[in-house]
Structure 1
Amino acid sequence: MLNQQSITKRKPSSHQTIKINKEKEMRENIVKAIEVYLSRSCYSSHPDGRFDNAKRWYPSASEERFCCDDIRPPSRAYPSSLNKHCRSIKHIAALYDVDETILRRVARKVAKGVSTIEAVNDAMK
């Protein structure tokens, strides 16, 4: 027969605590990333960068990531190539250090009207 002392809850180990904290941090980053993606995709917010005299847009050092290396440099013919890329899921996933696939899943669910938190919880399963 179990006594009251054997039923007491144990504290999580430090390894479990670290894992819980990392998962919580990842969820928070995904929520931030999806908010930024949605606002950038409808042009209500803008990536950090500058325009030159020929109206070509360049990302700032804090905005630039490894994924930007594959994008054509801005030219007079294509002045917003990097600006458009910096609004993409691929770039925002790199910016917030989250998995691009998970971010795409969340974006699809949010577009269908699911709340952000619910979409993140479903995508993290």
Structure 2
Amino acid sequence: MSVHVPSIDAALSAEGVAYDVYAVLTERIKECAYEYIARHKRRTHPAGGFDSAGRFTLSKRYDCCAGIRSPSRAFPYSENTHGRSLCHVAHEFGLARYESILRKVVNRINKIGEAEADAFLKSKSVKRKVLEADLGF
């Protein structure tokens, strides 16, 4: 649902510094998407370690980790699996409020390629969603 707020509409039409900040944010979103893809394909791994019983524990916990079961002998990789989720990677990058946009960027990168993800991030509807997330709408 888009809320038409005059300050958001003005920010969408403004150029200059706001555009530079948005460009940095979109690069950060793409970095996060590529890190998620790498973890999903097991090319990179979440930060953490194994104990003597083979249970993996994340080195850093975020709000998204609250409902995850503690590693046990029966489920030694519960935190490792969560560390590879988009939600956790988004929290690591400080982009949790943009998780829906991140998911769409990941899907576009996987299905079509980076050019389509760039075009998606430059669209006016995504800019509106980013501004609404920043302002808390």
Into which bin does the TM-score normalised by the smaller protein fall? 0.7 to 0.9
Q: Tell me how far apart the structure 1 counterparts of residues 108 and 58 of structure 2 sit (CA, whole Å).
A: 29
TM, length-normalised to structure 1: 0.77
More helix per residue: 2
Residue equivalent to 2:120: 122
Q: Tell me how far apart the structure 2 counterparts of residues 86 and 18 of structure 1 sit (CA, whole Å).
A: 34
1:91 to 85, 88, 92: 88
Q: Tell me how far apart the structure 2 counterparts of residues 59 and 87 of structure 1 sit (CA, whole Å).
A: 11
Residue equivalent to 2:46: 47
Aligned residues: 108
Q: Tell me how far apart the structure 2 counterparts of residues 36 and 18 of structure 1 sit (CA, whole Å).
A: 27
Residue equivalent to 2:67: 70
Q: Tell me how far apart the structure 1 counterparts of residues 99 and 43 of structure 2 sit (CA, whole Å).
A: 22
CA shift at 1:88, angstroms? 0.7
Q: Tell me how far apart the structure 2 counterparts of residues 32 and 52 of structure 1 sit (CA, whole Å).
A: 30
Q: Which has the larger radius of gyration?
A: 1
* Stretches of structure 2 lacking an aligned partner (at least 5 in a row): 1-13, 124-137
CA shift at 1:100, angstroms? 0.6
The alignment status of 1:80 with 2:77, answered yes or no, reads yes
Deviations 1:21-64 (A, max 9, x none): 33122111111101111110011111110000111101113xx2
Q: Tell me how far apart the structure 2 counterparts of residues 124 and 73 of structure 1 sit (CA, whole Å).
A: 40
The answer on whether the counterparts of 1:102 and 1:124 sit within 8 Å (CA) in structure 2 is no
Q: Tell me how far apart the structure 1 counterparts of residues 94 and 21 of structure 2 sit (CA, whole Å).
A: 12
Secondary structure at the aligned position of 2:43 is classed as coil
Secondary structure at the aligned position of 1:50 is classed as strand
Identical aligned residues as a percent: 33
CA shift at 1:121, angstroms? 3.5
TM, length-normalised to structure 2: 0.71
* Stretches of structure 1 lacking an aligned partner (at least 5 in a row): 1-14
Secondary structure at the aligned position of 2:74 is classed as coil
Moved over 4 A (4+): 15-18
